[in-house]
Structure 1
């Protein structure tokens, strides 16, 4: 199991990050960090021989009602995935969002779009991992995400805090029990129901004992997604997660 750190779309933050992590997850895409504009020498220096994962644009929807727009969405993600492959990225995180998540018929559109983007990733040599954002207005619900990820053979990026915000610790347990074998990548942080999110592990209400029980021996990648630059807090979160999953940091 490899433990890494999310660094947003900030190359300076990446360069300043602790070298204890195995990889860094970097946000790419317009308007902030366009892959074609990245200084590859600067990126290589910042990575310092660590692995690279990328996060595709956070606010880019996966689907729309118009076929022409859906084609454009796939074309955009393909361009980013091709660039990510050139940069040497191993995985790319994709938010699972839909133009209308409550329209039952729209599920087929979301499935087709996910298949097309995942295939684009395979062609680029990058594993697309689809992330649960069902707590958001347009995020596809956990129950549906597991189904369409299975149908398209797309690995999952399971965000523990997002799942808690969607349905509490019961939702975490339910998804891990039903779809744990589909998870390739984890986003780990803590949250509180009152709205605090992406806080250090152990500071919130997520029961990481559930994660331990369902994912013990996990052999994928784990990104610490705590919104702070405090090295001690980031390291403590990484150590807590590693201990729960039977690994070392």
Structure 2
């Protein structure tokens, strides 16, 4: 199991992040950080031996009602995935969002979009992992995400804090019990129901012991998504997650 760190769309932050982590997860996309415009030599220096994962554009919808727009979304993500593959990225996180998450028939469109983007990732040598963002207005609900990930044979990025914000610790257990075998990547942070998110692990209300119980033997990647530049807090969160999952860090 590898434990890494999300660094947003900021190469400077990537360069300054603790070398103790196995990988960095870098946000890519217009207008801030276009993979094709990144100097590969600078990227190599910034990673300093660590692996690279990327997060595809945070605000880009997965699916719309307009076929031409959907085609353009896939083409855009394909370009980013090809560029990310050239930089050596191993995985790419994709938000599961749509223009209407409550339209049951529209779920077929979302599933087809996911299939197309995951296939583009395979062609680029990058594993696309679809992330749960059901706590957001446009995010597909956990139950829907599980269904379309299963249908399209797409690995999952399970964001523990997002799942808690959507439906509490019981939802975390239910989802992992049903779809834990499809989870390839974890986003770990802590949250509170009052709205505080991306806190250091241990500062909120997520029951990580339940996560560990449902992911016994997990051998994927784990990214700390704690919004702080305090290296001590980042390392402490990583140590807490490693401890509960029964691995060294």
Shorter chain as normaliser: what TM range? Answer: over 0.9
Q: Is the 8 A contact 1:216 1:244 kept in 2?
A: no
Stretches of structure 2 lacking an aligned partner (at least 5 in a row)? none
SS of the residue corresponding to residue 26 of structure 2 reads strand
Q: Distance in 1 between the 2:37 and 2:90 partners?
A: 20
SS at match of 2:81: helix
Q: CA offset at residue 231 of structure 1?
A: 0.8
Name the counterpart of 1:57. 57
Gaps of 5+ in 1: none
Deviation at 1:212, TM superposition (A): 1.4
Where does residue 83 of structure 1 map in the other structure? 83
Indicate the RMSD between aligned Cα atoms, in angstroms.
Answer: 0.5
Q: C-alpha displacement at 1:216, in angstroms?
A: 2.2
The equivalent residue for 1:115 is: 115
* CA distance in structure 1 between the partners assigned to 2:36 and 2:76 by the alignment: 13
User: Per-residue displacement from partner, 1:97-155 (whole Å, max 9, x unpaired)?
Assistant: 01100001101000000000000000000000000000000000000100100111100
Normalising by structure 1, what TM-score? 0.99
CA-to-aligned-CA distance 1:3-62 (integer Å, 9 cap, x gap): 000000000000000010000000000010011211111111000011000000000000
SS at match of 1:25: strand
Find the aligned partners of 1:212 and 1:6 in 2 and give their Cα distance.
21
| Alignment partner, residue 139 of structure 2 | 139
Partners of 1:128 and 1:154 within 8 A in 2: yes
Specify the alignment match of 1:232 in structure 2.
Answer: 232
Distance 1:121 1:131 in 2: 15
Task: Give the whole-Å Cα distance in 2 for the aligned partners of 1:39 and 1:102.
Answer: 42
Normalising by structure 2, we get a TM-score of 0.99
Between the aligned partners of 1:209 and 1:85, the Cα distance in structure 2 is: 35
What's 2:100 paired with? 100
